[in-house]
Amino acid sequence: MRDERRVALVTGGARGIGRAVAARLAGDGWRVVVADRDLASPALAARGIACDVADEAAVAQLIQGIAAEEGRLDALVSNAGFMIRKPLAALSLAEWQAVLGANLTATFLLVRAAEPLLRAARGAVVTIASTRARQSEADTESYSASKGGLVALTHALAVSLGPEVRVNCVSPGWIDTKGEAAAGSLRPVDHAQHPAGRVGRPEDVAGLVAWLVGPEAGFVTGAEFVTDGGMTRKMSYAE
Ligand SMILES: NC(=O)c1ccc[n+]([C@@H]2O[C@H](COP(=O)([O-])OP(=O)(O)OC[C@H]3O[C@@H](n4cnc5c(N)ncnc54)[C@H](O)[C@@H]3O)[C@@H](O)[C@H]2O)c1
């Protein structure tokens, strides 16, 4: 019998936020494909593909594989990314380009390759940016630039791919991906400084993504959703 379930691709889905998104969508009845350059962690209820999403040929192969195996693509969650925190003078061009490649160029490569499948499915794309698209700590130039670019790429894609494909962005704040809250290694102030009273959890992002790729978000495209417990709404002048 043909499998009629919707298909989602989650990049960087082997751990952290991507893993929570993959688990949530699988639990909601989606067929999930996880693409990650490091698939070391235990398997989810998903098909795992080892893939560097900053590599053009690897992305083409990934999408061709989905066309052949799953035969459709209803949602792309472009989540893979990483940060290099280094003083500007020490940041090499290769490091800058590696961060831009994974955090920004990958979304261009993925959406370009998947456009026919996404249009055919009247699908949705969610990019995972960061509140660092709009505010910074020192020594984070490549990361902030990549996430600012990703927010802009999101609305550009929304305009180009509509009306068939909706494209939205989630910008998380501090998300505890290493279980530090459960392990007791976060300080009370880490939680209390947030207007929401706590540090974020991967499931906070997953819930928002699940809504964005679903039918209730049908009138939402080109938008950025901040899930940061209110941190970027707080004035932070010294007392
Ligand atoms: N954790 C946070 O507080 C936070 C806050 C804001 C934004 N984000 C963003 O959320 C996303 C997920 O972050 P996380 O905290 O879960 O990180 P993580 O390091 O726990 O997981 C990221 C995953 O992406 C994969 N990955 C990285 N580069 C890749 C590439 N080129 N090709 C394929 N896979 C690649 C890694 O192997 C890893 O499994 C990132 O884009 C990150 O910038 C995280």
Which H, E and C letters describe 205-218, residue by residue? HHHHHHHHCCHHHC
Share of the chain above pLDDT 70, in %: 99
pLDDT for position 98 = 98
Contact 154, 208 (CB under 8 A): no
Quote the pLDDT of residue 42: 65
Query: Ligand 1, atom 32: nearest CA belongs to which residue?
Result: 52
Q: Which residues of 74-84 are buried (b: 16+ CB within 10 A; e: fewer)?
A: bbbbbbbbebb
Q: Residues lining ligand 1, judged by CB closer than 6 Å?
A: 11-12, 14-18, 36-38, 51-54, 79-82, 102, 128, 130, 172, 174-175, 177
pLDDT at 1: 74
Mean pLDDT of 200-227: 98
Rounded mean pLDDT of 94-119?
A: 98
Amino acid identity of 13? G
User: Which own/partner contact pairs does 89-98 have at CB distance under 8 Å and 24+ positions apart?
Assistant: 91/141, 91/142, 95/142, 96/141, 96/142, 98/54
Half-sphere exposure of residue 102, counting CA atoms within 13 Å on the CB side? 21
Cα 155 to Cα 74, 150, 168: the distances in Å are 19, 9, 7
- Judge: domain 7-230, CATH 3.40.50.720: yes
The active-site residue, picked from 14, 143, 206, 229, is 143
Among 9, 33, 37, 109, name the best residue to mutate to test ligand 1's pocket (greatest count of ligand atoms within 8 A of Cβ): 37
Q: List the Cα angle 48/52/54 in 5-degree steps.
A: 140
The protein residue with its alpha carbon nearest to ligand 1, atom 34, reads 36
